[in-house]
Structure 1
Amino acid sequence: MNTAALIAAASVLLGACAATAAPASAPLVQSKAAAPVVRDGVLSMGLTVPDGDHPAIEAGVWVPTEAAADGPYPLIVISHGNGGDFRSHHDTAAALAKAGFVVAALTHTGDNWRDQSRATDLVDRTRQLSVLIDYMTRDWSARDGIDANRIGAFGFSAGGFTVLAAAGGDPDLGRLADHCRDNPGFYDCRLIGEHAGTMKAGAAAPRLPHDARIKALAVAAPALGFTFAKEGLSKVTQPVQLWQAGADQILPAPFYVEPVRDALPTPPEYRRVEGAAHFDFLPPCSPQLAAAAPMICAPTPGFDRAAFHETLNREVVRFFRETL
């Protein structure tokens, strides 16, 4: 399927879905962003993904319009952090699409800015990521434009944990008790305390769902990194690009990135960003978002988030080009 056919197929079906995919009250971007838009060589649109007996999954898709060659294109799926949505990494998604990838990002049901009822349901997070891959490669109207043998994943914070688990990781959730006893004020421990029921159910699961279709993963500031021992990451043999914020105040060193870096069977492409805080992995905020969500938008003293994202996006694009 060539670029024109991919765009046409996507637009016909998804244009009608955009209004239901992003309510006007969404604070992360202006509501018009969910409608099909072509900008700077990228077509973006909202999407609704059926999820069996579960509520439909809200998602977004970014499609290249000016790629150097016709498809099929590699697919990158994106998993956001706690309380985000499918637009949380819109700039990285757009950069990937412009470079010749189809990008699909989901809003995790029960863990987003509107609904925190399942904020610690780790099993369902990984399952939902596979549902998104299923839909994009089997049911999406423009699925012929995707190379199902070249699928990568990008995840931030809780999304970083999600893509590690989906790619074959088996966390030892029994480590949570000691971690939170020693660090009760940490963000993850406070979140677990607020949602102990869903976390307990997840800890009782034999393992989190795996998806062998993920061939490479970019992971930024992964949550619960301390739950991964060498045995738990022994099956994550794909190329990994691992990012750490040097001044991460939400998931501080050495409990999150370092355990993942040291446990992976093949050393990852490791990037420590000195001076960056946790939320600097999110794109620069609009004035509207800064007013609505100061926690994720407050400037980090001495750090240029906009300049960093030029580097982040360039390096994520390069990594997936080299590994998929």
Structure 2
Amino acid sequence: MAVCGCRLLEVADTVQQAMIPLALLYPAGGVEATEQFGPYSLEVALNAAPVGGPHPLVVVSHGNAGTPWAYRELAKHLVQSGYIVALPAHTGNTRHNNNRANTAANLANRPRHITLVIDAAYDQLKDHLIADRVAVIGHSIGGYTALAVAGGKPWTGPYERKTNPPQPVPVTPDDRVRALVLLAPATAWFRPEALRTVRLPILMITGDRDVNTPVEHAFNVLDGVADRAQVVHKVFDGAAHFSFMSKFPPEMTKPEFHPSQDPPGFDRGAIQAELFADIDMFLQRAVGTPPHNETR
């Protein structure tokens, strides 16, 4: 099984005038050690030499006030399956700095961050990446981000319009993105017809106990995209909005911290293997089978 290499860098966003923290995880040589990323730990080989390829690129877009490390186990699984994974922190909408939440600027910044991160990944690891073969995995507002960078045409929603009339959000699609995985996606920023320009294969995974983004958000995707047949929709029984994230460290797992909690009787750890397999199988079909023989 592949060693998981890790590079930490920052990507400049000249429009936002901010830096985007980015972790690149990739098949590598070397030896893994347990590393801390804030309160989260993961066994990786820091700054190890990349190996094999070319590999498809997967970018993970986290949720509101979130962190990419909440998807660390999925990211490492994908590296071990032969992908290179980019984990950006959406500056202004993270657990450390959430000052752009509920603003039109945040809706414009997030998709642009994805394009900048794709550029950075190709700059860092271009000899190990397949050209223009990118998938985006988005959770919650990360699902919005994925749909926007794939060609969706968003408008500001109720939170962003408190002091301004509705307005279109300026987003430039990135045609390097070839597939989307939407985990409990938030889609309220897309009006009817706004997703007709999204013409990519999509895997959408939701939970039937989700009160944050209930089933109407999924219907926006199913009814909105150009070809509903390109969307595979799977519902996990008993899952809520945060149930697709990695388990939080024990010191963060408490009732008042809602992302760490699941509905009674549901164990997010128990579904991880099935969740990972669903995503892996979809990505193999959508962006190509990675060269396993070169990474194992």
TM-score, scaled relative to structure 1: 0.74
Cα 1:114–1:292 change in 2 (3 A) is farther
In the other structure, the counterpart of 1:129 is 114
In the other structure, the counterpart of 1:70 is 52
Distance 1:124 1:226 in 2: 14
Is residue 2:130 matched to residue 1:147?
yes
Distance 1:293 1:55 in 2: 31
In the other structure, the counterpart of 1:11 is none
In the other structure, the counterpart of 1:180 is none
Q: Is the 8 A contact 1:80 1:156 kept in 2?
A: yes
In the other structure, the counterpart of 2:178 is 215
Distance 2:267 2:162 in 1: 37
In the other structure, the counterpart of 2:86 is 104
Cα 1:283–1:228 change in 2 (3 A) is farther
1:260 partner amino acid: V
Gaps of 5+ in 1: 1-38, 178-191
In the other structure, the counterpart of 1:289 is 252
Q: Is the 8 A contact 1:62 1:104 kept in 2?
A: yes
In the other structure, the counterpart of 2:223 is 262
Identical aligned residues as a percent: 29
Cα 1:63–1:307 change in 2 (3 A) is same
Q: Is the 8 A contact 2:207 2:235 kept in 1?
A: yes
Q: Higher relative contact order at CA 8 Å, sep ≥6: structure 1 or structure 2?
A: 2
Match of 2:77 among 91, 95, 106: 95
Q: Is the 8 A contact 1:73 1:100 kept in 2?
A: yes
Match of 1:84 among 41, 57, 66: 66
1:263 partner amino acid: G
In the other structure, the counterpart of 2:40 is none
Cα 1:42–1:250 change in 2 (3 A) is same
Distance 1:247 1:206 in 2: 30
Matches within 5 A, 1:182-193: 192=159
Residue 271 (structure 1) shift? 0.6
Three-state SS of the structure 2 residue aligned to 1:278 is: coil
Three-state SS of the structure 2 residue aligned to 1:216 is: strand
Q: Which has the higher helix share?
A: 1
Residue 225 (structure 1) shift? 3.9
Distance 2:7 2:132 in 1: 24
**Runs of 4+ displaced beyond 6 Å:** none
In the other structure, the counterpart of 2:208 is 246
In the other structure, the counterpart of 1:308 is 271
Cα 1:47–1:289 change in 2 (3 A) is farther
Matches within 5 A, 1:225-240: 225=188, 227-229=190-192, 231-240=193-202
Residue 51 (structure 1) shift? 2.4
Matches within 5 A, 1:33-52: 41-52=3-14
Residue 266 (structure 1) shift? 1.9
CA RMSD of aligned residues (A): 2.3
Match of 2:18 among 55, 58, 63: 55
Count of equivalent residues: 260
TM-score, scaled relative to structure 2: 0.81
Per-residue CA deviations over 1:250-289 (Å, capped at 9, x if unaligned) read 1223x31111122122220111111101010111122022
